[in-house]
Amino acid sequence: MTPLSSPSLQLLTALWNLWQSLAADGDTRLRVECGVDLKGFIALGYLQARPYQPAELAAALQMPRYEVSRLLGTLENSGLISRVRDGRDGRQVTVNLTQDGQHTWDRGLITVEDVTAPALAGLDRATLDHLIHTLTKLIPVPDGEPT
């Protein structure tokens, strides 16, 4: 049996190679061109759709709350988000995208599309949609959440 005969190892190797070729380059280009890393850019992607509470964003990003707290601090210090405390319950915080955050998101989306365009060029829309759907199905669902 060769080392890559295991489907599990083949999957992890393919994901690793894809990560190295696309995400690492995307992360570098986002840092240089937009001043935000890939993790921050993905968070901005959620926030450009609507405001989130930090715990809710942590769940969406599948990241520990303490890591999201650090990420939000970095984004806030960069002027890309604002955290607003609820007037009635000062413990409740809502995270909003600022105007600079929206501009960074818009610029970053162009960068991300440029980085991924060569890899996606050979795929028609139906194949791409199927690939995204299939990869999304592989993401473990946290306990207690509907599938």
Cα gap 87→36, rounded to integer Å: 30
Which CA distances in Å does 127 have to 52, 70, 84, 133, 136? 31, 37, 41, 10, 14
Specify the number of domains making up the chain.
Answer: 1
Looking at residue 143, its pLDDT comes to: 60
- Tell me the one-letter amino acid at 121: A
Picking from 59, 71, 82, the residue whose alpha carbon sits closest to that of residue 143 is 59
Q: For the chain, what is the radius of gyration of the CA atoms?
A: 18
pLDDT over 90 at 142, yes or no: no
CATH code for the domain in which residue 46 is found: 1.10.10.10
Residue 146 has pLDDT above 50, yes or no: no
pLDDT in tens, 115-129: 999 989 999 999 999
* pLDDT value, residue 24: 87
Q: Which residue has the higher pLDDT, 144 or 30?
A: 30
Residue 92: predicted pLDDT: 86
CB-CB contact of 92 with 112 (8 Å): no
Q: Look at residue 16 and tell me if it is in a domain.
A: no
Average pLDDT, the chain: 89
Phi, psi (rounded to 5 degrees) for 51: -70, 150
Burial 103-130 (b: 16+ CB within 10 A, else e): ebbebbeebbeebeeeeeeeeeeeeeee
pLDDT score for 78:
96
pLDDT category of residue 147 using cuts at 50, 70 and 90 = very low
In a domain, 9, yes or no: no
> Above 80 in pLDDT, residue 34?
yes
Q: How many residues does the chain have?
A: 147
The pTM score is 0.84
Note down the domain range covering 77. 24-137
- What is the rounded average pLDDT of the residues 46-65? 94
Q: Does the structure show a pLDDT above 70 at 73? A: yes
pLDDT reading at 4 higher than 80: no
Residue 8 lies in a domain: no
Q: 14 in a domain, yes or no?
A: no
Task: Return the DSSP state at 83.
Answer: E
